[in-house]
Amino acid sequence: MNILEIRDFSFSYPDQEKRALTEISLDIKEGTLNVICGRSGCGKSTLLRQMKSVLAPHGEKKGMILYKGKPLAELEYRTQSKEIGFVMQNPDNQIVTDKVWHELAFGLESLGYDNATIRLRVAEMASYFGIHRWFYREVKELSGGQKQLLNLAAIMAMHPSLLILDEPTSQLDPIAASDFLETVKKINRDIGTTVIITEHRLQDIIPFADKVFVMDQGKLITEGTPGEIGLELKRREHGMFLSMPVPMQIFASVDSDLACPLTVSDGRMWMQ
């Protein structure tokens, strides 16, 4: 079942002749981990923000975005807040309270959940994400990695069906970034939350993706499994090929007569 469908969607910013997005069509299956990649300025962030109405920039739109078979534009904001989680690039732009525990509870409070449910959900998330160790601290005392993890935990407390992440590790150091992406993969694997992520650390996330979408100049140029994407980018001699994880490059460079299916084991790609 598709949780999200985009049909011939185009978008242009006000007073701009050139479209930021041009006739994008894609399907996101429920429970899958999806990576959207492309060079800087290709339209990745613009596309992600269109997937949640309150974050969508102003401009001219054409086409349709469906969430669980219904037009996203007709879905009330409360439902979107509950079911569609969004993690931004800069963690400081998303935190709204001064205490860790209150940040975890804030979204649930805003949606009107009762105290018993809020306490249960907050306790669950604090334990799952390891936040119980700094549960009562001031947010300003946290590192960048901790803040981003807190953002993610606060969103997951609302039990969203779809989790969208826009370059979530761009402000983090390599160790914090690696830990954060491991948590995202764990959420998809353990909870079954559908994930759509843009990420510049492709080597840490693409091997685990069910599907990869490649964008260029506002257009979706190809999509498929990691193995299929590597082969297609190699065939096109596209610049994004060199940004792919090394195992994908090696696999795609092997003569097609000798190439075997690409498999993923323990987060690594192997040729059988």
Q: Average pLDDT, stretch 174-180?
A: 93
pLDDT in tens, 63-88: 999 999 999 999 999 999 999 999 99
pLDDT range class, residue 235, cuts 50, 70, 90: confident
Supply the pLDDT for residue 65.
97
What are the structural domain ranges in the chain? 2-224
Nearest to 249, CA basis, from 264, 234, 228: 234
The answer to whether the beta carbons of residues 88 and 94 sit under 8 Å apart is yes
Supply the pLDDT for residue 256.
45
**2-224: in CATH 3.40.50.300:** yes
Supply the pLDDT for residue 68.
96
> What is the DSSP-derived secondary structure letter of residue 57?
P
Handedness of CA 92, 97, 102, 107 (dihedral sign): negative
Task: Tell me, rounded to whole angstroms, the distance of Cα 242 from its chain centroid.
Answer: 22
The C-alpha atoms of residue 209 and residue 198 are separated, in whole angstroms, by 12
The C-alpha atoms of residue 172 and residue 102 are separated, in whole angstroms, by 23
Going from the C-alpha of 119 to that of each of 43, 96, 105, 113, 114, the distances in angstroms are 39, 19, 8, 10, 9
pLDDT in tens, 23-69: 999 999 999 999 999 998 999 999 999 999 999 999 999 999 999 99
Lowest mean pLDDT among 14-18, 222-226, 258-262: 258-262
pLDDT range class, residue 246, cuts 50, 70, 90: confident
Supply the pLDDT for residue 103.
96
**What residues contact residue 13 under an 8 Å CB cut-off, 6+ apart?**
20, 57, 58, 59
pLDDT at 7 over 50: yes
Q: Average pLDDT, stretch 204-214?
A: 93
Please name every residue paired with 196 in a beta bridge, in sequence order, or none if there are none. Answer: 34, 164
The strand pair at 84-87 and 162-166 is best described as parallel
Give me 142's structure tokens. 């946290």
**How would you label 239-265 residue by residue, b for 16+ Cβ within 10 Å and e otherwise?**
ebbebbbebbeebbeeeeeeeeebebe
- Average of per-residue pLDDT values in the chain: 90
Q: How much is the pTM?
A: 0.90
